[in-house]
Every structure is written in structure tokens, then in C-alpha cells.
Amino acid sequence: MVRTVTSNMLDSKTPNDVEIRAEARKPITDPTLGIAVTPNRSGTPRNRLVVLGDSLSHGFQSGAIFKTNLSYPAMIARELGWQGLRYPTYDGPGDGLPLNFEAIGRQLEKRFGNNLDIWEFLPLLLFLRDFLDDVEDYWERGAGSSSSQPGLINHNLAVYGWDLRNTISRTADICREVVQRKGPRDNFLRQVVENHNERAAIRVLDTARDAAGRSLSPVEAAIALSTEDTFDNEDGIETLLVLIGANNALGSILTFRVNWSGPGYDDMDVNDQYTVWRPIHFQAELDQLVAQVKQVRARHVIFGTVPHVTIAPFARGVGTKVAPGSRYFPYYTVFWIDDKSFKPSKHPHLTEQEARAIDSAIDQYNDSITEAVRQARQEGHDWYLFDTAGLLDRLAARRYITDPAARPSWWDEVGGQYPLPPEVQALNPVPDARFFIANERGRTQGGLFSLDGIHPTTIGYGILAQELINVMQLAGVSFAQPDGTPRTGAVKIDFGRLTTEDTLISKPPRVIESVLERIRWLDANFNLFNTLLRSSY
């Protein structure tokens, strides 16, 4: 059934260039968009894979950037048989930056067992303060504070938290200036690594410099990689992946505020005030990015669409749907609040109308990305569309899978629910897109999203890597064994190995359910966590 827009779907504060849609955009299953091109295959590009992106490509999960060796670009490089992929690493006492919830969960389990009792609250707070203090000291004053990163330009140029403008314009030197200007602060109560994003970005981009030593943005770094030691018209990069744009809307979910972009949307010094970019502003930023990407000498370019940020389980839908068959709940709030406890006057939230407006804007972002790929292919460039949004929509547990009446008209046409790899499907319980929960029995819910409710687990990243490998094979990219032996047929990631490498799946912290119960109790009685959440906006 094709749905139509009705007046109760509209939010009065939504800009008029946002086209409200009654159902999500249909996934695009043909990466070529039906346009044939003949790429130049002369020479052998020395850089087999280069990535522009945000946290999804950087390898962020469970509140931190840490397992960069298990990011999806690293998984793809492993399947390529290419051991030359360069990417930053993030060690330290807390195992990552800024705050690794998985590491915290394991420390809590070690100290308090599988269950946290109310009377253990004070020891818990003391433990957390010491843990956070060690992490903060390492990155602000210890070994992690060193900003000099010698070596060659990284191939994974993604940085968590960055949007289109950052990818075009932000550099390591800009980030270093921010760190030096603001300086580290050792606040007794607020034990958070100051300027953690800039510190993480410096590790990605500090080696990205031209011959004169000028600091380069991610896209400028990709251009430099594509032209080093090459002859005229020779590609220095085999495959360039561009998955960027989620942070042009993700702030709305993280803050539960919808502040549409306005003046200064393209100014990195002022645009942090905006949580969702208007489609016209996203288009203007995308046009600049596309123009620069066309300067990259890459044999194949794969552009990803922007996922619907309301799919992530960080924002939990609460209440009874007003209209049966709607894909939206009346409200969206933080994941630990259940229907019974939720109060609009008390808890941070978005309305269903706001959620629909955000998703509709993202659909327009993706229309723009699709059109950019279409035009590039018509010009003879070997560009492909990877529909990240469509992939995640088909994994949306509470939106579509458990509510068949809410499924869009295209659901069956594109294959319905995304088929998980057999090794993942065999896990008990079968991983899904709900928030991750584990107790003394092990994992009881979720498994595709990590403990921050925004980013995938390692097996979730594996699904992303597998789908991108499928596009790369369509483009004619050759894959090999580590010894260089060519691989034939469809290249498949070993999800059996990946489920072992995914520590949330193979050894979940069994204290998670108890932690969530304590957070709910504190919220109900003292409104503590919501006060902290609001103060962070």
C-alpha cells in the first residue's frame, strides 16, 4: 500500500525545502544506476583502497575509537589480500578515545559481578571517577597527548563526528590549534577528555601534508595519494570509498533537538549550533565535495548514502502509535527510558513529526548523492552508489521487522528483511538492531549495534564490509589471498572468524542489563542522567 502525507505528519517548524514523505525512500539495488561506463584499467594503482568518511568508516563503536584494525576498511583490505592499508591506532588505559563503554562494562563486571546493587552506587562512582581520570590524563597530559605522527599519509582518512564541510576543509593543523588554544583542564567532576575529536583527527591527518608542509584536509589528502609517483592519466588509487553526511543530521538524535541549518552552515566556527542541515544547504556542500572528489585519480569511486539516523537504537520510540501502520512512535527518547516511565515534560525527546522531517531531509540528501553518481557515470567516471540507508532500513527491528503493517510499499520488491550471513543467523539469540543487552545468561537482545546505540558491532561492520565488497567485485576489483593468490568467485567474509573477533558477541559484558536498570532507577528518582544529558548540549 502506497501511503500519502496527511496534516498530522507535519511539523510547523520544518523548513519549506524539506519534502515530507509518507514512507522511506526505496533502496537502490543497482550500484551502476543502469548506466554503463568503460573505466581506464591501465597501470597498477599503488593505493588499493582510500576512504573518506566519518565514525562509521573510522571504526568507532561503544563510545570510542579503538578497534581500528577491525574497521570495515581494514576488513576489506584483509579480503583484498593487501597488507599495506595505513590507519591510525588508539591505545591507552581506557582502550580508546574518548570513552569505551565496553571496557567500562568489563571493569564493572570484574569488580561488582553481574549485578549492581543500589548500595554499591558510591563505590561505583569512585571507580568511574578513577577510570575516567586515568583516561583523561593519558590523552591530555600523558603519552597519548603527543600530536606528532610521522610517516606516510593514511589510507583511512575518516574522522568520527565530521560532516561534509569538515571533510572538505578541516586539517590537522586546525585541530592542533584548537587543542593548544583551549588546553587540557583537569576538572575533578567532569573527567572527560577535552577536545577528544581534534586529538583523534590529528592522528588521522597529521601526516597529510603537501611538499611545502601545508596541512591537508581529508579530500586533499586523497588527491595527494592519487597523484604520488604516477604518470599522466594514471590512477594512483584503485577504489575510493566516500561515506560521509550522517553528521549533517545525527546531532538531532544525540541532543534530541531539531535546529535546522541557517546562516554559517558552511562555517566550521559557528555551524555546531545546527543539528540538521536543510536539503538546500546539504546540496551546496555536496556540490563542493563532488567537485573535489572528481580531482582524485581513482579508478573506481563508491559513494554511500546517508542512513536514517532514527534507525539507531540510541533513540528509543515510546508510546502507542497514533496511526496503525505508521513507522514512527509518538516520541523518541534516550534508550534506557521505557514507555511507562516516559514523561514529555521531563525527558529529552523528539516527536514523531520531527523524526519524520529528519528522515525526509535525509531522503533528499540521498537523492542528491544519487544524482551526483548518475551525472558522474554519464560523464564516463566509474562511480557507484552504495545505499547504506537502504541496507539499514532493511535491518530496522522495531520500525519494520516486528511491525509488518508499517512496512513500506517497496518492502517485498527489494527482498524484505536483510538476510543475515548464515554464521550470524545461527547465533542465539539472532542479532538484531535493538539496543544491546546482556546479563548473567549472556547476550539477550541486539547485537548489530554496539553499546553506544549508534555504531555497529564488529559483525555489524562486517555486514557493511561485505556489501561494499560486492560493489567492488561488480566494479571489477580483484581480490587475493594474503600470499597473492587470486581469489575466484564471490568473495565472502569469514563471519565465523568475525564473531570470535567481536568481543561483544563472543564474550558480552554480563553487567549491561543491571547497569541499565540502575540508570532507570536513578532517572526515575533523581532525574540524574537526564540532567547530565541536557547539560552536555
Binned at pLDDT 50, 70 and 90, residue 522 comes out as: confident
Instruction: Give the pLDDT confidence of 300-315 residue by residue, as tens digits.
Output: 999 999 999 999 999 9
Task: State what percent of residues in the chain have pLDDT above 70.
Answer: 93
So what's the pLDDT on residue 230? Answer: 65
Q: Give residues with Cβ within 8 angstroms of 245, minimum separation 6.
A: 54, 163, 164, 282, 286, 305, 306, 365, 369
Residue 167, pLDDT > 80, answer yes
Rounded to an integer, what distance in angstroms lies between the CA atom of residue 507 and that of residue 504? 6
So what's the pLDDT on residue 532? Answer: 47
Q: Which residues of 40-58 are buried (b: 16+ CB within 10 A; e: fewer)?
A: eeeeebbbbbbbbbbbbbb
Instruction: Give the pLDDT confidence of 99-113 residue by residue, as tens digits.
Output: 999 999 999 999 888
So what's the pLDDT on residue 471? Answer: 98
So what's the pLDDT on residue 39? Answer: 82
| Higher pLDDT pick, 131 / 361 | 361
Instruction: Give the pLDDT confidence of 418-455 residue by residue, as tens digits.
Output: 999 999 999 999 999 999 999 999 999 999 999 999 99
Beta-carbon-side half-sphere exposure of residue 186 (alpha carbons within 13 Å):
10
Binned at pLDDT 50, 70 and 90, residue 331 comes out as: very high
So what's the pLDDT on residue 92? Answer: 87
Helix axes 101-112, 121-140, angle to 10 degrees: 140
So what's the pLDDT on residue 535? Answer: 40
The grid coordinates listed for 139 are 590523552
Low-confidence winner among 167-176, 182-191, 196-205 (lowest mean pLDDT): 182-191
Q: What CATH architecture is 37-535?
A: 3-Layer(aba) Sandwich (3.40)
So what's the pLDDT on residue 537? Answer: 36
Low-confidence winner among 125-139, 194-208, 251-265 (lowest mean pLDDT): 125-139
Rounded to an integer, what distance in angstroms lies between the CA atom of residue 129 and that of residue 119? 17
The grid coordinates listed for 426 are 545461527
Instruction: Give the pLDDT confidence of 462-514 residue by residue, as tens digits.
Output: 999 999 999 999 999 999 998 889 999 999 999 999 999 999 999 999 999 99
DSSP letters for 5-46: --GGG--TTS-TTS---SSPPPPP--TTTT--------S--S
The three-point CA angle 184-190-192 to 5° equals 55
What is the mean pLDDT of the segment spanning 394-419? Answer: 95
Alpha helices in 322-436 (DSSP H): 352-378, 388-393, 422-425
The three-point CA angle 106-537-135 to 5° equals 35
Strands 350-351 and 331-334: antiparallel
- CB 457, CB 101: distance < 8 Å: no
- Rounded to a whole number of angstroms, the distance between the first and last alpha carbons of the chain is 40
What is the mean pLDDT of the segment spanning 514-535? Answer: 67
Closest CA to 370 of 283, 278, 281: 283
Residue 258, pLDDT > 90, answer yes
Residues 360, 363, 368, 372, Cα dihedral to 10°: 180
So what's the pLDDT on residue 187? Answer: 54
Question: What's the order of all strands across the beta sheet hosting 315-318?
Answer: 315-318, 331-334, 350-351
Rounded to an integer, what distance in angstroms lies between the CA atom of residue 140 and that of residue 182? 11
Residue 46, pLDDT > 50, answer yes
Taking every pair of Cα atoms in the chain, the longest distance, rounded to a whole number of angstroms, is 70
- CB 495, CB 505: distance < 8 Å: no
Residue 283, pLDDT > 80, answer yes
Binned at pLDDT 50, 70 and 90, residue 528 comes out as: low
Q: Give residues with Cβ within 8 angstroms of 13, minimum separation 6.
A: 258, 260
What is the mean pLDDT of the segment spanning 67-90? Answer: 96
Residue 53, pLDDT > 60, answer yes
Question: Residue holding cell 562486517?
Answer: 462
Residue 415, pLDDT > 80, answer yes
Rounded to an integer, what distance in angstroms lies between the CA atom of residue 402 and that of residue 224? 47
What is the mean pLDDT of the segment spanning 217-245? Answer: 90
Question: Residue holding cell 566550521?
Answer: 268
- The pTM of the full predicted model, rounded to 2 decimals, is 0.94
| Higher pLDDT pick, 9 / 320 | 320
Instruction: Give the pLDDT confidence of 357-402 residue by residue, as tens digits.
Output: 999 999 999 999 999 999 999 999 999 999 999 999 999 999 999 9
Average model confidence (pLDDT) for the chain?
92
Task: State what percent of residues in the chain have pLDDT above 90.
Answer: 78
